[in-house]
């Protein structure tokens, strides 16, 4: 092995980066392999990579590999982490911030089939013989509204929000009465939401959803 300068090693690595066909995630070959193919020692390569990392050209992570570009901000909280950090009132606040905007989009983009499905869910929620079944149809209604936004990312975020919500409220079943009363506040509120969506009234849908969720929040506070 002929000794070459640090600068020459750095140049070889830069040249490699400029010409190599890397996979989509920008992952470089493992250090040991790259050192071999560039005909430099691993120590020298590591020195060069450290320089490039400090310049934001590559980032490295033990066990994962070396990648082009800046290190991604690793702030993605998975569901469990979100569940550990939040609480029912915070979930309600997040819903009040987020779901009216989903309903607004749904009013603009829902298909007739989706509106029909919302109506069906709404009716089934009203006729539900148990709280459990009411909540199933309630969940289905809200998710159909998310689907009606025709934005898979909004739907994904809504699903994430609902997963956290269920985990935070898990096990809190209502035992009395057995089913929702005939004048359960959500029934009329659901009707207003779906009507505004069917009318293509974005602002109306957002407002109706916000009122509904504020009502749910208020009832939740009454139970604390």
Partner DNA sequence: ATCAGAACCAATTTTGAATTGGTTTTGGTT
Partner DNA sequence: AACCAAAACCAATTCAAAATTGGTTCTGAT
Q: How far apart are CA 68 and CA 17, in angstroms?
A: 8
Range 150-209, binding a second copy (CB under 8 A) = 151-157, 159-164, 166, 170-171
| CA-angle at 113, arms to 112 and 119, nearest 5° | 90
b/e for 72-92, b at 16 or more Cβ within 10 A? eeeeeeeeeebbeebebeebb
Query: Are 15 and 52 a contacting pair, CB within 8 Å?
Result: no
Query: Are 168 and 91 a contacting pair, CB within 8 Å?
Result: yes
Nearest to 27 by CA among 59, 72, 67: 67
**Residue 132 in contact with a second copy, rule: CB under 8 A:** yes
Q: Which is nearer to a second copy, 31 or 101 (CB)?
A: 101
Q: Which is nearer to DNA, 41 or 88 (CB)?
A: 41
**Residue 46 in contact with DNA, rule: CB under 7 A:** yes
For tokens 């699903």, the residue is 159
Binding partner of 153, given DNA, a second copy, none, CB within 5-8 angstroms per partner class: a second copy
Instruction: Kindly state the smallest distance separating residue 199's Cβ from a second copy, in Å.
Output: 19
Binding partner of 177, given DNA, a second copy, none, CB within 5-8 angstroms per partner class: none
Instruction: Kindly state the smallest distance separating residue 47's Cβ from DNA, in Å.
Output: 8
| CA-angle at 127, arms to 123 and 131, nearest 5° | 115
Q: How far apart are CA 182 and CA 141, in angstroms?
A: 18
Site track for DNA across 18-37, x = CB under 7 A: ----------x-xxxx----
Q: Which is nearer to DNA, 68 or 150 (CB)?
A: 68
Residues that bind a second copy (CB under 8 A): 24, 26, 56, 69-70, 72-73, 75-77, 79, 81-82, 85-86, 90-91, 93-94, 97-98, 101-102, 104-105, 132-133, 136, 139, 143, 149, 151-157, 159-164, 166, 170-171
């Amino acid at each position: 092995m002929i000794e070459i300068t640090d600068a020459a090693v750095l140049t070889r690595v830069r040249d490699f980066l400029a010409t190599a066909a890397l996979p989509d995630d920008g992952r470089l070959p493992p250090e040991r392999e790259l050192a071999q193919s560039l005909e430099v020692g691993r120590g020298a390569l590591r020195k060069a990579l450290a320089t490039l990392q400090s310049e934001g050209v590559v980032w490295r992570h033990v066990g994962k590999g070396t990648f082009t570009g800046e290190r991604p901000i690793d702030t993605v909280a998975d569901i469990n982490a979100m569940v550990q950090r939040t609480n029912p009132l915070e979930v309600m606040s997040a819903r009040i911030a987020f779901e009216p905007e989903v309903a607004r989009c749904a009013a603009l983009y829902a298909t007739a089939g989706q509106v029909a499905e919302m109506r069906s869910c709404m009716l089934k929620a009203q006729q539900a013989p148990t709280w459990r079944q009411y909540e199933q149809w309630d969940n289905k209604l809200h998710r159909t509204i998310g689907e009606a936004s025709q934005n898979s990312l909004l739907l994904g975020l809504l699903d994430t929000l609902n997963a956290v919500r269920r985990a935070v409220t898990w096990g809190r079943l209502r035992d009395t009465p057995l089913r929702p009363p005939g004048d359960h506040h959500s029934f009329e509120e659901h009707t207003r939401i779906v009507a505004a969506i069917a009318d293509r009234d974005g602002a109306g849908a957002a407002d109706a959803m916000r009122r509904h969720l504020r009502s749910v929040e208020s009832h939740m506070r009454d139970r604390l």
